[in-house]
Chain A
Amino acid sequence: MRRTRPVVVGGISLAVAAIIFIVPFFFIFLQAVKSRSEASRLNFDLPKEWLLWDNFLAVVEARNYQLLLAYFNSTLITVFSVTILVVLSAMVGYVMQRRRSRWNGVAQVAVLIGLMMPPAVVPTIGLLQSIGLFKTMTGMVLIQVAYNLSFSTLLYRSFIGTIPRDLDGAALIDGAKPWQIFFRVVMPLLKPVTVTNIVVQSIAIFNDFTNPLYYLPGKENVTVQLTLYNFQSMYTSQYNLLFMNILLVTIPPLIVFIFFNRQIVAGMTAGGVKG
């Protein structure tokens, strides 16, 4: 085989991909470490002084430590909604996969609608108001659960199909109750898909902008994505701080990606192929 060709094609595509896909991230980092006047030029010059720490402090302290509050809120929403999502969608996926009943068809249609249709926002706001959950963290968590159930259920259902029925059958003969079979026997076997689910949904919910924008207004409820949006209008003359904020918001998914690359890929393709 000719050995030069892969190297040449690889070299060229590497260079093109680098320019197209890496330059924007490099740009974010560069602006984030510049001084205010240097960043306002929006160019690729290296900064005279590297102000990584100063800009970091300035962003964190801005608006009375709004960013810390936002990280707290976003983390809280993500942790609670993903926990509920995982348990509830595993239960649904399990029964959908194992039992033939007339409710299966209903569940299937519900999953399909959930994957396809956007939520009706204003009626949802009206409903949340009438049950006292508008502008509350509880309301936001439940909304994230409702909107992401379809995708999680899909992942679980297809994975449970690969687990032999003999296992739940054996537990049944041993006299275990249904919920014991599920939580003690089946759930531990679902660990790979549970990890995938947690990782993929955490990123999606942490990055969600639209739903907090609609359902969680108010300064004390601010989430990470909304700080970005608020800072965009506030920092029109302070690009260095705006980009420091973008950098800080980009780091959590980067860390998750480094550790869970394989699970993310599995989740994205499995969900995709079945969807």
Chain B
Amino acid sequence: MVEAQRPKRKSPYPLWFFLPAAIIYGVLFLVPTATSFWYSLTRWDLMTAEYIGLENFRQFFSEPFLVQGLINTLIYAVMTSGLKTIFGLLLAVLLTSNLIARGFLRTVVFFPVLVSTIGIGITFTVMMHPTRGIINVALEAIGIDGPGWLTDPALALFSVALVDLWKGVGLATLIFIAGLAAISPDYYEASRIDGATRMQQFRRITLPLVWPATVTVITLSLIGGLRSFDLIWAMTKGGPGFSSDVVASVIYKQYQAGFYGLSTAGNVILFGLIAVIMVPLTVMFNRREVEQ
């Protein structure tokens, strides 16, 4: 009551509310991000940093296994993102239709999202064991000779991506379900009266109107895929050889080996990769949407 009479009326929404968050975020996230550009140009042991120009980047792009990590990151991100979008939409359509045990199914599909990635990684590594794993045992029972899911260099990255799909598709499904729920049933009703088939309804009504959710799923899963580390690390550690290495696992390996400059150069390359892919994509997607 007394304070209301103060001569200088300040905004009730003080800017110092930003301050505690800004300090923590600035010091622990933005500062290291900014300094990483400098350290990526050095030979660095955490004490002294010696400027060596673009040597780290030259090395990164001339070592075949490092280049492989870069290519694998792209493959992994595009594959997991694409699969999550397709299967997420299919599951969402299924789980919004009129079928029994719908709620139970939604729960079952979503639960893996919340479970420890490392736990899931170890479990699937055991189930994918080339001879004793239950996947290959089951395949053998129906007469198929199962591959070495994680031991075949040509297959390891794809096997991990499939597990990523298993773990992450629930989130995509959830976002699509929210998107589908926002579509007015009138459209379906009207088109049904006009004699549209289910397939036509899906292509002409569902797909275009669920587009905002699609954008969200693609964006989130692409970012997740490009940064992904823990599942790959739990399942293959980048192996066999370097066949399933991604940039994030290269960063960790170079850090462990004590090549801090090279590791940081990997980090900067990952920033670049994400920026080059996500910025144009976001601009493109936003053009089709109304700004909030």
The interface of chain A, by Cβ under 8 A from chain B, is: 6-7, 9-11, 13-14, 17-18, 20-22, 24, 27-28, 31, 41-44, 88-89, 91-92, 94-95, 98-99, 101, 103, 107, 110, 113-129, 142-143, 145-147, 149, 153, 168-169, 172-179, 181-182, 203, 207, 209-210, 213-214, 224-225, 228-229, 232, 239, 242-243, 246, 249-250, 253-254, 256-257, 261, 264-265, 268-269, 272-273, 275
Given A120-B33, A146-B24, are A269 and B278 also a contact pair (CB < 8 Å)?
no
- Distance in Å from the Cβ of B3 to the closest Cβ of chain A? 5
- Contacts known (A42-B129, A246-B122, A253-B114); A273 close to B24, Cβ less than 8 A: no
For A9, the closest partner residue in chain B by CB is B99
Contacts of B30 in A (CB 8 A): 110, 113
Number of A-B contacts (CB under 8 A): 261
The prevalent SS among residues of B at the interface is helix
Residue B41 at the chain A interface, CB threshold 8 Å: no
Residues of B within 8 Å of A21, CB to CB, are: 108-109, 111-112, 166
Contact B267 A122, beta carbon cutoff 8 Å = yes
Chain B 95-119 interface residues, beta-carbon cutoff 8 Å to A: 97-102, 104-105, 107-119
B241 in the interface (beta carbon within 8 A): no
Interchain Cβ contacts under 8 Å between A and B, 25 examples? A6-B98, A11-B100, A14-B101, A20-B166, A21-B112, A27-B123, A28-B119, A92-B18, A101-B15, A118-B248, A118-B267, A121-B267, A122-B251, A123-B36, A127-B27, A175-B2, A207-B117, A209-B233, A225-B118, A229-B118, A246-B123, A249-B119, A269-B177, A272-B171, A272-B174
- The chain A residue sitting closest to B5, CB to CB, is A175
Min CB gap A57→B, angstroms: 20
Q: Which residues of B contact A181 (CB under 8 A)?
A: 12
Q: Shortest CB–CB separation between residue B195 and chain A, in angstroms?
A: 18
Q: Which residues of A contact B21 (CB under 8 A)?
A: 88-89, 91-92, 149, 153
B248 touches A265 (CB 8 A): no
Q: Could you say which of B39, B175, B229 contacts A268, with CB atoms under 8 Å apart? A: B175
Compute how far the CA of A249 lies from the CA of B12 in the bound complex, rounded to whole angstroms.
45
Q: Assess the B251–A121 pair: CB atoms within 8 A.
A: yes
A interface: dominant SS: helix
Could you tell me if A275 and B118 are in contact, using CB atoms closer than 8 angstroms? no
- Establish whether residues B32 and A119, one from each chain, have CB atoms under 8 Å apart when the complex forms: yes
Q: Are A175 and B4 in contact (CB under 8 A)?
A: yes
CB proximity of B236 to chain A, nearest CB, Å? 12
Q: How far is the CA of A210 from the CA of B249 in the complex (A)?
A: 11
Chain A residues with CB under 8 Å of B117's CB are: 207, 209
Min CB distance B175 to A, Å, is 5
Partner of B99, one of A6, A27, A176, A275: A6
Residues A142 and B24 in contact, CB atoms below 8 Å apart = yes
Q: How far is the CA of A275 from the CA of B282 in the complex (A)?
A: 11
Minimum C-beta distance from B127 to chain A (A): 6
Looking at the assembled complex, report how far the CB atom of B168 sits from the nearest CB atom of chain A, in whole angstroms: 11
- Chain A residue numbers with a CB within 8 Å of B44 are 122
Task: Assess the B132–A42 pair: CB atoms within 8 A.
Answer: yes
Nearest neighbor of A8 in chain B, beta-carbon distance:
B99
The residues in B between 167 and 185 inclusive whose CB is less than 8 angstroms from any CB of A are: 171, 174-175, 177-179
Q: Are A44 and B108 in contact, with the CB atoms below 8 A?
A: no
B276: Cβ under 8 A from any A Cβ: no
Q: Beyond A116-B278, A122-B263, is A129–B46 a contact (Cβ under 8 Å)? A: yes
Within the complex, which residue of B10, B20, B119 is in contact with A228, where a contact is CB–CB below 8 Å? B119
- Within B156-201, which residues are at the interface with A (CB < 8 Å)? 166, 171, 174-175, 177-179
Check B74 for interface membership: any CB of A closer than 8 A. no
Quick check: is B145 within 8 A (CB to CB) of the other chain?
A: no
